[in-house]
A = this chain, B = another copy of it.
Amino acid sequence: MTTLSYVQLSSSINPSFWNKLSELKLDVFKLNEDGKDIWGYFPITVLIVSSTNCATPFLEVDSTSFNSEVNGQLTYLKFHGKLYNKNTLEQFKECNKMELINGVGQSITEQIISGKALCDPSILNTFLLLSFADLKKYHYYYWFGFPVPKGLVIEKIASSPIIEEFSLELAEKIHNGYKQLAINQRCYFLVIKGKSGLEVYTLAEKLKDINLEDIPEVYFVFHNISSVSSSIGSQLRNYVTLLLHECKFLANEQVNFIAFHLSREKSRITCLDSICYKLKLPAVADSTLTSEWVGWEKNERGKMGPKLANLKNSLDPLIISENAVDLNLKLMKWNLVPSIDLDKLKNTKCLLLGSGTLGCSVARTLLGWGVRNITFVDNSAVSYSNPVRQSLYTYQDSVEMKPKADAAAENIRKIFPGVNSIGYQMTIPMPGHTVGDSMVNQTKETVEKLIQLIESHDVIFLLMDSRESRWLPTLLANAQQKVVLNAALGFDSYLVMRHGIYVENATEQSMEHPEGYRVIDGANLGCYFCNDVTAPCNSMKNRTLDQQCTVTRPGVSQIAGSLAVELAVSLIQHKDGVHAPAFYTTSQNVSSQDLSDINPSNLGLVPHSIRGFLSSFEQFLPATQKYKNCVACSDMIIQEYKEKGMEFLLEVFNSSKHLEDVALLTEMLKETDFGEVLEFSDEDFCSQSSQ
């Protein structure tokens, strides 16, 4: 008479399990640490039972382990698992392991008491997994447990191969009976060898009917996970707990068990490797159902301790990189902005007209927001003075005089290989920049290309260093109803604005609220040119060195570029998208903070424009109405362009005065007292501030 020796399962984790866990943590679990239901699989018919086989039995988990819908497979025993994924390594280390395994054990106990385990004895096969996923390092700390009640002593009276106790025919009958059982019944069932022959039953069918006198004829079967004939999977103790609960008379009795085992003999599967045991059950009463459970797995060093899976080196660095970039953004959703739509950002196609200080800054901030489609347009090459202010270029680019658009597209992929970037080297035609006969065809091609680029992108950023180069894209984006984000720099000042979205014959309207603020709807917001009463003309000519170089305090472009992107992102996230109205205060009693509470973007206020000054570190949020005689966005101009197309554009390129005629500005300037309409232009505004 010896104490039974047990074999414990070992855990075998397919890396896909961790990938799935990472995904779920980011997208579903987030900071929720509640126990999650998972499933593990024990493969049957793999091991050959012998007295010497020392192969460890493994419980496997993989990416399907989170899916309760996965149907049981005949070749696996399905284990019920509880995942406790902690948010920090400290919580992982410091959480009370005893409490944890007792909790899972308690739930087994409860299901035994409620009868659930009787109906579905697979519940007795339970594991728990405590883990901490360091998603930045791809390190997974984990500890498996296979809870069994502590101190339940079962003695082995005798054991013998099944064929010594059953004829081959009866053994075959047991096997056939097993195959008739539902999958979740196959781990624990009954064989009764009565006078009328041998029958196989589920526990639920027969257990409650058994009396003490039936015991010699009853065999309590369990699917043994051990391949060593002398030892038994520790889960037997859960089985015995169930049996003692249902049949209290079994306490202290000697009882027949079959350690069921399927094995492959030649091409046939049999249960002839199963072993019959006569076991003496402990003398516990139901009231003593233990609250203490054991079963934590030992680690590689044979110690009671957690294991570490380091997946970093086994992953494709490109995939790690993409995941890492997404990670920071997904974390925003957890606590801060649960309603943010990251996919919308990821799929937004951004066209950057101008790849200088602003273009580089905008591209980098877009990358930070997870935008994956960035197109660069510029007409110049990287010069030696560029890299220190234009954050996508290096000294080597200037030595090689690389075209900026190409260099930007190439270098941004060196930052993040997952981005789709492309560069176009082209000069945007401008009002007042006469197109000679020899250049007409090329100019037409450039305009066509620009139309096509605007068509194929969602957000158009104007980031050039001249006023007149902004005119054509402003007009084209308007005609195509694409949103324009415009950034312009003074020496120590900046202007960042979004253009209104063109709606044919939109009724002019803006609402004055008595509380001290006004609203202009998206269709009535002004563009960059709306403050002007003259057409943009060739300002490149006659520029002195300091004017050519757009001398600015270096911080200005980084700030303006970042703000342009942040404004774009706030706009995209607004429920009305690019059509979002602009709220602005008309009273000192209403702060922008107050407005951001009224205006419903999940990222806060979506102003029309932001003007800032480094000389006083101030920022203002003016909003302006679309100007009915605007040379770039007024109905008259858009209509003229729609009717005459290229002909109109060429006329404007050759004489910017033509714009003033079409927009009826010429006429108006004659009629009106100048003082009434001549507001400051941006350059005036910016240069004033830099004095």
CB within 8 Å of B: which residues of A? 25, 31, 87-88, 90-91, 135-137, 317, 320-321, 323-325, 327-328, 331-332, 334-336, 361, 364-365, 367-369, 383-385, 387-389, 391, 393-396, 398-399, 414-417, 491-492, 541-546, 548-549, 551, 553-556, 558-559, 561-563, 565-567, 569-570, 588, 591-593, 595-596, 603-605, 607, 610, 612-619, 621, 689-690
Q: Are B603 and A610 in contact (CB under 8 A)?
A: no
Q: Known contacts A332-B491, A395-B414: does B365 contact A555 (CB below 8 Å)? A: yes
| CB atoms of A387 and B365 under 8 A apart | no
Q: Are B389 and A368 in contact (CB under 8 A)?
A: yes
Q: B592 contacts A617, CB within 8 Å?
A: yes
- Beyond A388-B367, A558-B361, A559-B559, is A593–B613 a contact (Cβ under 8 Å)? yes
Q: How far is the CA of A454 from the CA of B181 in the complex (A)?
A: 76
**A415 and chain B: residue at smallest CB distance:** B387
B residues in contact with A136, CB < 8 Å:
383, 385, 545, 548-549
* Contact partners of A321 in chain B: CB under 8 A: 384, 395, 398
Contact B616 A604 (CB under 8 A): yes
Whether the pair A619, B621 counts as a contact (CB closer than 8 A) is no
Interface pairs (29), CB distance under 8 Å = A87-B545, A136-B549, A137-B383, A317-B399, A321-B395, A323-B384, A325-B388, A336-B551, A336-B690, A361-B558, A365-B554, A367-B388, A369-B554, A387-B416, A554-B565, A555-B565, A555-B566, A558-B558, A559-B559, A570-B614, A588-B588, A591-B618, A592-B616, A592-B618, A593-B616, A593-B618, A595-B616, A618-B619, A619-B619
Give the Cβ gap from A513 to chain B, nearest Cβ, in Å. 17
Chain B residue at smallest Cβ distance from A419: B388
Using Cβ atoms and an 8 Å threshold, which residues of chain B touch A690? 336
Return chain B residues, CB-CB under 8 Å to A90.
541-542
Residue from B87, B369, B546, B605 within 8 A of A31 (CB atoms): B546
- CB neighbours (8 Å) of A545 from chain B are 25, 87, 135-136, 331, 334
* CA of A492 to CA of B601, assembled, Å: 14
Q: Are B391's CB and A391's CB within 8 A? A: yes
Q: Chain B's nearest CB lies how many Å from the CB of A42? A: 32
Contact between A384 and B549 (Cβ–Cβ < 8 Å)?
no
* A91 neighbours in B (Cβ, 8 Å): 542
- A551 contact from B328, B391, B563, Cβ within 8 A: B328
Smallest beta-carbon distance A448→chain B, Å: 30
Excluding A368-B389, A394-B414, A603-B615, 16 further A-B contacts by CB distance (< 8 Å) are A25-B545, A31-B546, A87-B544, A328-B549, A367-B554, A387-B415, A388-B415, A395-B416, A555-B563, A559-B559, A566-B614, A566-B617, A567-B617, A591-B616, A595-B616, A596-B615
- Taken together as a complex, chains A and B put the C-alpha atoms of A491 and B616 apart, in Å, by 25
Residues of B near A414 (CB, < 8 A) are: 394-396
Q: What CA separation (Å) do A376 and B565 show in the bound complex?
A: 28
The one of B325, B335, B385, B551 in contact with A385, judged by C-beta atoms closer than 8 angstroms, is B325
Known contacts A554-B565, A613-B593, A549 near B327 by CB under 8 Å: yes
A558 touches B365 (CB 8 A): yes
In the bound complex, residues from chain B placing their C-beta under 8 Å from that of A551 are: 328, 331-332, 336
- Minimum CB distance partner of A554 in chain B: B368
Q: Which A-B residue pairs are the 9 nearest by beta carbons? A: A368-B554, A604-B615, A555-B562, A324-B384, A324-B385, A87-B544, A592-B616, A555-B566, A331-B546
Tell me which of B88, B323, B567 contacts A544 (CB under 8 A). Answer: B88
Chain B residues near A689: list those with CB within 8 A.
593
Chain B residue at minimum C-beta to C-beta distance from A569: B553
A619 CB to closest chain B CB, in angstroms?
A: 5
Task: Decide: B614 and A603 in contact? CB cutoff 8 A.
Answer: yes
- List B contacts of A592 (CB < 8 A): 616-618
Q: Separation in Å of the A443 CB from the closest CB of chain B? A: 21
B619, A325: Cβ atoms closer than 8 Å: no
Contacts of A615 in B (CB 8 A): 593, 596, 603-605
> In the complex, which residues of chain B have a beta carbon less than 8 angstroms from the beta carbon of A388?
325, 364, 367-368, 415-416
Min CB distance, A538 to chain B, in Å? 10
Instruction: State which of B87, B88, B591, B617 has its C-beta within 8 Å of the C-beta of A563.
Output: B617
A615-B548 Cα distance, complex, nearest whole Å: 35
- Complex CA distance for A474 and B684, rounded to whole angstroms: 42
**Whole-angstrom distance between the Cβ of A614 and the nearest chain B Cβ:** 5
Give CA–CA (A542, B95) in the complex, Å: 12
User: Is the CB–CB distance between A616 and B603 below 8 Å?
Assistant: no
Q: CA–CA, A135 to B491, complex, Å?
A: 20
CA distance A610 to B616 in the complex (A): 11
Q: Which partner residue on chain B sits nearest A94 by CB separation?
A: B542
Q: Assuming A544-B87, A548-B136, is B383 touching A395 (CB within 8 A)?
A: no
